[in-house]
Amino acid sequence: MLKPALKNDRYLRALQQQPVDRTPVWMMRQAGRYLPEYKATRAEAGDFMSLCRNTELACEVTLQPLRRFDLDAAILFSDILTIPDAMGLELYFETGEGPKFAKPVTTLKQIEKLAVPDMGSDLKYVTDAVSLIRQELDGAVPLIGFSGSPWTLATYMVEGGSTKNFSKVKKLMFAEPQAMHQLLDVLAESVIQYLNAQIEAGAQSVMVFDTWGGVLSPRDYQQFSLAYMEKIVKGLTKTSEGRSVPVTLFTKNGGQWLEAMAATGATALGVDWTTNLAEARQRVGGKVALQGNMDPSVLYASPQRIEQEVQEILKSYGRGNGHIFNLGHGIHPEVDPEHAAAFIEAIHKHSPQYHD
């Protein structure tokens, strides 16, 4: 089926460091719990994973923020833990406690039984959602597909859910490094196939979320996280529908490793608020575009304070191309949607002066 021409490709152009009229903007977790319409749709679905698996409702919540705000991209509504769930670990969500697995993986024997999920059956609900969202977007803005990084997925799989001290996953990493590498290897291959399936279904850009890479030492980050993200970048479909498919890597608290991340071949890097954007731009030397990097908590402040922060970040990046404005992590559930609107309007108002 011939897909409609893209009416707004500002985000894709910025990823390629091409000229744009203003800095494009989208928000991590822009489809989510801060929106009353999302809460209503989730209630209709029954629970979070039922919402993810319902093609029509996943499409609906993906489009909700675009009806409210003038954003430059849509991001697929899904979860980073769909791959381990498809591997048989049985993902579920406890209210107030985040994701959990009924069958965590802790031994080499369990790891050896893991296989790359079948994208055409086990994860078809994700690619079906991508196809429907592309159809419903009708070329308005590009669609971003995504996955968790192998290290981040492994963290949840071994810990059985969220963790504060990462004791189980680090014990496996240090006590049985070969078992950990075997786990990361099957996850990297799964992520490659998963993102390529999303691209085939219509995703025009993809992002790898390395939420927990920042808990590793520099040596261990290179060996257990970055090496597998580099493998993913190399294995991804490079072009689709006659244009390149950019890939963004984002390691939370990973600002110290930007040069190494830029050397992977990624198109862009996500930057959180703990890194100075001017310094980040200088350090990557034009190798990659940069996405970020406002502290999501600024959205609790007044619209005037939000506008001031936007101006400071724009000034920090400076003139020229290759910046995608975003929060440094996902928008918080308690944020007033009007404050998100003020954030987006401030970027529209103040960013054109930084572009020719």
Q: Is 9 annotated as a binding residue?
A: no
Spot the catalytic one: 33, 68, 283, 305: 33
Element (H, E) at 13: helix 10-15
Catalytic-residue membership of 67? no
Q: Is 31 annotated as a binding residue?
A: yes
Q: Is 156 annotated as a binding residue?
A: yes
What helix, strand, coil percent values describe the chain, rounded to 5? 50, 15, 35
Q: Is 178 annotated as a binding residue?
A: no
Cα dihedral 172, 173, 178, 179 sign: positive
Q: Is 329 annotated as a binding residue?
A: yes
Q: Is 43 annotated as a binding residue?
A: no
CA distance 1 to 10: 24
By C-alpha distance, which of 165, 259, 266, 294 is closest to 209? 266
Catalytic-residue membership of 79? yes
Catalytic-residue membership of 138? no
Spot the catalytic one: 11, 34, 38, 156: 156
Residue reference for tokens 């050397």:
263
CA distance 202 to 343: 29
Spot the catalytic one: 68, 79, 300, 305: 79
Q: Is 53 annotated as a binding residue?
A: no
DSSP 238: -
Catalytic-residue membership of 42? yes
Catalytic-residue membership of 281? no
Q: Where are the beta strands (DSSP E) in the chain?
A: 74-75, 91-94, 98-101, 143-148, 205-210, 239-240, 243-244, 247-251, 268-270, 289-294, 323-327
Cα dihedral 125, 329, 307, 291 sign: negative
Q: Is 254 annotated as a binding residue?
A: no
Q: Is 242 annotated as a binding residue?
A: no
Spot the catalytic one: 10, 22, 29, 134: 29
> Annotated active-site positions, please?
29, 33, 42, 79, 156
Query: Could you tell me which residues are annotated as the binding site for substrate?
Result: 29-33, 79, 156, 211, 329
Query: Could you tell me which residues are annotated as the binding site?
Result: 29-33, 79, 156, 211, 329
